[in-house]
Amino acid sequence: MKKLLPLLPYLFGWGLLISTVSLSEISLINGITQIVLFLFVVCIPAWKTGRMSYVDIGWPWGLVVIGVMTLIFSEGHWLRTALVGGVYLFMGLRMGFGAIKLLQLGALDKELPRYQYQHRRWEKAGHTQKKFVMQVEVLLQGLANAAFLAMPAFVIASNPSETLSIFEVVGLLIWLAAFIVESVSDTQKLKFLKDMREQSLKNKVCNVGLWRYSRHPNYFAEWMVWNALLIASIPSWWALGAVEAIPVWILLGLGLVFVSRIMFVTLVHYTGAKPAEFYSVQKRPEYKAYQLSTNMFFPGIPKS
């Protein structure tokens, strides 16, 4: 039973959405769809192969589901609905097609390093039933899509106001800037790796461009993408106070804030920066010096 405890906050978040007056129908349909998606795309393959990497397929396509649900079932103003639904579709399709490409190239025939790190955690914690623990963590990802990660989309798209708030405009601009930073950092790293191959240099540290100011500028930018959605959701959440019970309305607000924490923990501790650096230190001799000179997550001036 203790192994199931991590699921409880996400089940509570989904139950909170279903209990609302405004978001119950779309949240119920989305949650059921997410569970079915993860069952066939992630849970069954993970059980058969013992590999958790299939989450990288299920999670982004779950964002696509949220975008589709937003466009079909939301009752807010059409422009607001189209914008937030389009954002989720764009994020999900971008990562989802990338994951399918990895599958086609055979990259998922072995466990990805960030999920290999999860196996190490389970061994350190003394978990002997790895397949069961893996299923719990996989379902956690699906329930995150059913609950907290869907909250910004459903809350924003519930707003019938025909006027975009300054919060929504600022949120959209921050989202666009964060996406550009994420794309630029990914492009810079790919170019760096290509240059190193052409020079027959192996295991070098990428410290060019944005990577001079953060060891993981792409992860930081991804976190800011979600913070931008939270900023954009403020006026719509405020408007829900007129139709939702006060306790439910307050919990929705806390749930929106919790999205930022979920993504920070994921991108830094769970499958992001720390697992990546565990292997980088072993593989790249110069990486320890890079750690001393460059911030891990938040961008900053390089230290001498």
**Is residue 60 included in any domain, yes or no?**
yes
- pLDDT score recorded for residue 39: 96
- What residue type is 21 in one-letter code? V
68, 86, 154, 157 from 145: Cα distances, Å: 13, 16, 12, 16
Name residues whose C-beta falls within 8 Å of residue 36's C-beta, 6 or more positions apart in sequence: none
Residue 148 domain flag: yes
Confidence of residue 128 (pLDDT cuts 50, 70, 90): confident
Domain membership of residue 301 (yes or no) is no
**38 token code pair:** 């993860």
pLDDT, one tens digit per residue, over 92-127 is 999 999 999 999 999 889 999 999 999 999 989 888
Q: Is residue 77 assigned to a domain?
A: yes
Give the mean pLDDT of 204-217: 96
The answer to whether 224 touches 178, Cβ cutoff 8 Å, is: yes
Q: What is the pTM of this model?
A: 0.95
- Decide if 298 is inside a domain: no
For residue 235, tell me if it sits in a domain. Answer: yes
Tell me how many degrees the CA angle 89-91-93 measures, rounded to the nearest 5. Answer: 65
Share of the chain above pLDDT 90, in %: 93
Domain count, the chain: 1
Q: What is the mean pLDDT of the chain?
A: 95
The tens digit of pLDDT for each residue in 158-179 reads: 999 999 999 999 999 999 999 9
pLDDT digits (tens, 9 = 90+) for 232-243: 999 999 999 999
The predicted-structure confidence for 38-65, as pLDDT tens digits, reads as follows 999 999 999 999 999 999 999 999 999 9
186: pLDDT strictly greater than 90: yes
CB 137 within 8 A of CB 118: yes
> Binning pLDDT at 50, 70 and 90, where does residue 130 land?
confident
Identify whether 284 is part of a domain: yes
The pLDDT of residue 1? 66
Q: Reply yes or no on whether the pLDDT at 36 is more than 90.
A: yes
Contacts of 228 (CB under 8 A, 6+ apart): 171, 172, 173, 174, 175, 178
Q: Give all strands (DSSP E) within 140-181, no chain letters.
A: none
pLDDT band at 78 (very low <50, low <70, confident <90, very high): very high
Residue pLDDT, tens place only, 219-273: 999 999 999 999 999 999 999 999 999 999 999 999 999 999 999 999 999 999 9
Give the domain range for residue 202: 2-293
Residue 92 region, left (φ>0) first, then alpha (ψ -120 to 50), else beta?
Answer: alpha
Q: Is residue 236 part of a domain?
A: yes
Residues 6+ apart with CB under 8 A from 280: 205, 287
Q: Between the CA of residue 219 and those of 86, 185, 203, what are the distances in Å?
A: 21, 10, 21
Percent of the chain topping pLDDT 70: 100
